[in-house]
Structure 1
């Protein structure tokens, strides 16, 4: 059943749009970039086929500045994915605007396993869509598209969720009080920051979501598809085995906003969170920074 999603606009002190509501499709691959880059390139091509033409207009250039996404820019992006100029980490960030949050956004962060610059790296890729696409095309179409984007990706973990869409975690420059209010009221909202998580997540998981993708080694650690069936005996839940010893868990017919002022958190979200809890990413240590404590609590919000 179609449910109303909150309309969100967070602006920074200058009045620029820092974040807005949308849907995010995000995957973490516990593989080095050269192993997965061709599959990610093909997923990006599929994303470009389904979003409006000329939507992604800007990218981050070699100099670290926002530059118009012309033919030369696309050639640089292709090289960064398929023929990287160095063996360390690299990033690709494509957006609608050089200064504001758009509805569509692509982020890729190549992280080499064992790179001493990062605590526990994984390669990540994220695709953002506006909430309007969900309203116009429906949940089944968005689910089918997420499956297409994931088809060749040897992900460890992935998800599709209602989200606060913002380039490079720029939501932090918006109204912090409003942001906290939204996250408290709507626990299903994903505050994603792929560049930060890809440096530390390793083979761990984040919170379960409307669509939760599980691959190896995580799926095996959870006990495989039979353990998922036993933990999720709910009529709203479906499990779809995927090629490559992967599975898609669908927790509901629609990506519910879960407004806790009007409803309880659905039991299937809590059940999957309990099964996944031992494998959640968590910052470790006695003297965690405030934002690290907040992240730890946020990831455990369905327990």
Structure 2
């Protein structure tokens, strides 16, 4: 419920706010950028229409600078997305602020899967992430955000996607405050910790976990037995099923996203059931960034699969 959504502000050692509560919406596609570029541009325009005017104010340039997202900047983004000669990757990073924790941001990592760089790489995808502040959800309601997620998803040939409460931090800047995040991570199992560039580089046609909104495309949906099999295995009153074109499915696990506060209760049964169904298809990420090493991230990715009463360490 809305009253259970936490307010979180995490600062780094220098006192800068680098992570806060919000919503993230991610899609992953086993397609090359050239195949999906027009759909990517349309999805970005839909996101722009849904958020406050000029909520995206800055973009990352090729040389590493952060530049104002004025009319010239938008023309540059359009050119990069639709017209730039194809290379191994197309990276778009748009943010509300040029420093600090942006609550609105758009990240896109498009890859040329036919290039020698990705030859034989079954993990690489083209991925994108849209973020919103929690206040957007509270002001517009979950039905509005769900409808927007569906609109964006229709544009994209995703293999997997999701929308979730999250520790919002563009470009994985939560790394700068990862020790401070340990407490909130262990308490709020329903908040996603995301890093688009890493996830999109290895998720392939797999899954990342069970979320408030879970988008299942092919081949994953078929590997799970299809929509009717999932109806039988997820027969909870809270779960709704929304078939989409091209044999895809949107699962909604409740009216509101659940923070899954371990101080107030356990993992809701519909979240645990979906997490266990998806567990064989999880594609984990994580490096040697103490204390969030691979062992820690392995437990974190499986936090919703555990028996009632158990928590990730």
Aligned counterparts of 1:296 and 1:113: Cα–Cα separation in 2? 27
Deviation at 1:115, TM superposition (A): 4.9
Partner in structure 2 of residue 58 of structure 1? 58
Map of 2:151 onto structure 1: 148
Report runs of 4+ in structure 1 exceeding 3 Å deviation: 114-119
Q: Distance in 1 between matches of 2:56 and 2:229?
A: 41
Q: Deviations over 1:201-233 (max 9, x none)?
A: 111110110000000111111111012111101
Q: Is the 8 A contact 1:37 1:81 kept in 2?
A: yes
| Residue of structure 1 equivalent to 2:180 | 178
1:157-206 Cα deviation digits (max 9, x unpaired): 000000011110001112x3330111110111000100111111111110
Match of residue 45 from structure 1: 45
Q: Which residue of 1 aligns with 2:163?
A: 160
* Secondary structure at 1:151 match in 2: helix
Deviations 1:90-143 (A, max 9, x none): 210000111111111100001222555465210001110000011111111111
Whole-Å separation in 1 of the counterparts to 2:44 and 2:18? 24
Structure 1 unaligned residues grouped into runs of 5+: none
Q: What 5-or-longer segments of structure 2 have no aligned partner?
A: 306-313
TM-score of the two chains, using structure 1 as the length reference? 0.94
Whether 1:131 and 2:139 are equivalent positions in the alignment is: no
CA distance in 2, matches of 1:57, 1:292: 35
Distance in 2 (alpha carbons) for counterparts of 1:264 and 1:298:
15
Q: State how many pairs are aligned.
A: 299
> How far off its partner does 1:67 sit?
0.8
Separation of aligned partners in 1, 2:230 and 2:219: 15
RMSD: 1.7
Measure, in 1, the Cα distance between the counterparts of 2:43 and 2:89: 20
Describe how 1:220-259 pairs up with structure 2 within 5 A.
220-259=222-261
Rounded to whole Å, the distance in 1 between the matches of 2:30 and 2:140 is 32
